[in-house]
Amino acid sequence: MADYTSPKPVDPIWYQTNAFLRIDCRCRRSVTYPLGDFARVHRLPSSMALYELIDRLRCENCGERPSSAKVTRHP
């Protein structure tokens, strides 16, 4: 049975604004943001797909791409 409640990579940001963005980096930095707040602060278009957002991420600490990033329903 399909799980329609979990975020999918093709979902636009506006569809998952109550979800959380979990980012882990190789430099051991780990952060979790409410997705809607993250999108507003960084002025991302609400029509952007989650996979596009994840492709654009960079670590604030070291500047590298994160080792993992995912959108979840729970922090």
Length of the chain measured in residues: 75
Average pLDDT of the chain to the nearest whole number: 91
pLDDT average, residue stretch 37-56? 95
Nearest-angstrom CA–CA distance, 12 and 53: 9
Question: Does residue 71 sit in helix, strand or coil?
Answer: strand
Residue 1 in this model has a pLDDT that exceeds 70: no
> What residues have CB less than 8 Å from 27, skipping those under 6 apart?
59, 61, 62, 64
pLDDT digits (tens, 9 = 90+) for 25-41: 999 999 999 999 999 99
The model carries a pTM of 0.86
Stretch 4-30: mean pLDDT = 90
Rounded CA-CA distance 70/58 in Å is 14
Burial class (CB in 10 A: 0-12, 13-18, 19+), 47: exposed
Residue 73 scores a pLDDT above 70: yes
